A and B are shown apart, each in its own frame.
Chain A
Amino acid sequence: MSVPVASLVTMPAPVIIARDLAKRFGEVEAVGGVSFEVAAGESFGLLGPNGAGKSTTMRMVGAVSPRTGGELSILGLDPDRNGPEIRSQLGVVPQTDNLDFELPVLDNVIVYGRYFGLPRKLIKQRAGELLEFAQLTEKSKTRIDDLSGGMKRRLTIARALINDPKILLLDEPTTGLDPQARHILWDRLFRLKEQGTTLVLTTHYMDEAEQLCDRLIVVDHGRIMAEGTPASLIRQYSSREVLELRFGSGRNGEAAQKLAGIGDRVEELPDRVLIYADDGEAALEAVRARGLEALTSLVRRASLEDVFLRLTGRSLIE
């Protein structure tokens, strides 16, 4: 290797390496050759709409779904040969909770710890700490049915941490939760990130990706559209600000015609027109100067949603 030894010490080794990773289900290509690396301690995101191949990629990384093409190495091991070894080092939070409804909260964590062959005493000690972390200590004897959606998710995360995993995989961790529950969950995940846990998460919420991911790939139709930090992706694919205009149903298209030339780019959506400009207020002035009055107008900072729109021509949530 030509890299100087000094830099090797500071650069953490990648814990996940995917090269042209692909998955076919018969005729259907779910993942069409994706390549990425995740370093130890990094928080890495897969952002994309439903059906983009994010969950399939996560299942391959989780060593429960064999790849049909390409290379994949998790902690230096091949999931085709060393599935149990890899899974012994992972924490997995699946898209749909699979807690045991017949057992109360604490027992769910304990039986899960036993799957790893951990000693009971260690499991009990850790389970107590993890329920504390998940803010579920008072619920330890509660039935799963009596937990809210946010509590179930937090319990699933606590359960996934019972083996002190090297990598935590989170598939759509906050989908279906109300805003308050999402914020509580983000806070917990952020703490894990601060403690240096390697996080890999999929999401179709751009705010989630912006808050939690150091680096992400934008995925669509089983392929990587772009890769970078949230800030660099926004810089690269969007202007600094976005002006959102609503002209009322049916009139957005007509208005968009007359807006050509204002800002860097004009994007017409069914319910609104977006103008990408570094100065949103100035763009709004320019719109008014053309004699157009929108029903509502809003200037906001550009987000990953805009990056996705630019890359695919579609919104993330349709």
Chain B
Amino acid sequence: MSAISAEVDAGAAAARSAAARPRRFGALFVFEHRFTTARRTWTSNVVPALGLPVLYLFAMGLGLGSLIGGGSGAQDLGGVSYLVFVAPALLTAAAFQTASEEFIFPIRLGFKWNPTFFGMNSAPLSPGQIIDGNVLYTSARITANSLIYYLLMLAFGAAPSGWGILSVFAALLTALSFGGPLCAYICSLEKDASQETLVLRFIVMPLTLFSGTYFPLSLMPIYLQWIGWMSPLWHGTQLARDATYGLGEPAWLIAVHLVYLLATFVVGWQIARRLSRKKLNK
């Protein structure tokens, strides 16, 4: 072996050992970066996470709910109070809302407005790991927020079933099911044309209203019900209701909710990973 090739081999060996940790834990390092950033603005995360559920549970559950007690309304709600009916939906809607922000702005920021993703990628991190790290961070944030929400629901007496804690999982699935495809869409953007506002206004807002959140989907005219069937929020909300008060859905329908939520997430997430590679590794 010549001196040159020995020197080159030593360099290559050093590179291999240095890249071992980033190859394995790269997504966690991205998560860490997001967490470091969030810690600096923790009040703007924590105050809404505590305050909004209280406001919504009061206003919707107790306030609006007091108008709906008894009569034909109670029948449509399946025999539970409006508070119990609406609380799991408020939980999933909050997760849905957080996901729609977290999968738009930080992603767009990293690719375009403050292109930190390019910096991560010029270090050993791969485009896929960058997406994974963001998904991890958002998942952690939504899980934490949903847990807080659930504990407040308990305090309001809005989650009677012993299985209620599973609604946190339903909320996370709702967020990821919408977040995966949304993240892919944001990864596909080249130019700025306020696409984010359009998504929030024409997708997030209508889906929140037409996904059986504030009233059962079955009360909608049949020609509008398809919006709910397509909506991750409806599937997730139904699951959350199954968990918090036993909606009584058949097992196959629960399976449909789960498969739909998981499949939309996985497909969107994988497309986002691919698109991010296209963008960062032109």
Contact = CB atoms under 8 A, between A and B. Distances in A.
Interface of A: 1, 5, 8-9, 11-13, 15, 25, 59, 62, 64-66, 75-77, 82-90, 92, 94, 96, 98-103, 107, 110-112, 114-117, 163, 166
B12 interface: yes
15 contacts: A1-B2, A9-B3, A15-B11, A25-B282, A64-B122, A84-B19, A84-B22, A87-B123, A87-B124, A88-B123, A88-B124, A98-B119, A114-B33, A115-B22, A116-B124
A214 to B, nearest CB: 20
Q: How large is the interface on B (under 10, 10 to 19, 20 to 34, 35 or more residues)?
A: 35 or more
Contacts, number: 130
Interface of B is mostly: helix
A76 B12 contact: yes
Contact of A166 (B11, B23, B122): B11
B226 interface: no
Nearest to A115: B123
A94 B119 contact: yes
A86 B114 contact: no
Contacts of B114: 98, 100-102
A202 to B, nearest CB: 15
Name the 3 nearest CB pairs between A and B, nearest first: A117-B21, A76-B8, A115-B123
B40 A98 contact: no
Interface of B: 2-4, 7-9, 11-12, 14-16, 18-23, 25-26, 29, 32-33, 36-37, 40-41, 114-116, 118-126, 280-282
Contact of B12 (A9, A85, A116): A85
A77 B12 contact: yes
Given A89-B11, A114-B32, A8 B3 contact: yes
Given A8-B2, A86-B15, A98-B119, A115 B125 contact: yes
B101 to A, nearest CB: 15
Contacts of A166: 11
A96 B119 CA distance: 10
Nearest to A1: B2
Nearest to A11: B4
Contacts of A102: 37, 40-41, 114
B15 A96 contact: no
Contacts of B36: 103, 107, 110-111
Nearest to A101: B114
B121 A64 contact: yes
A127 to B, nearest CB: 13
B276 to A, nearest CB: 12
A100 B116 contact: yes
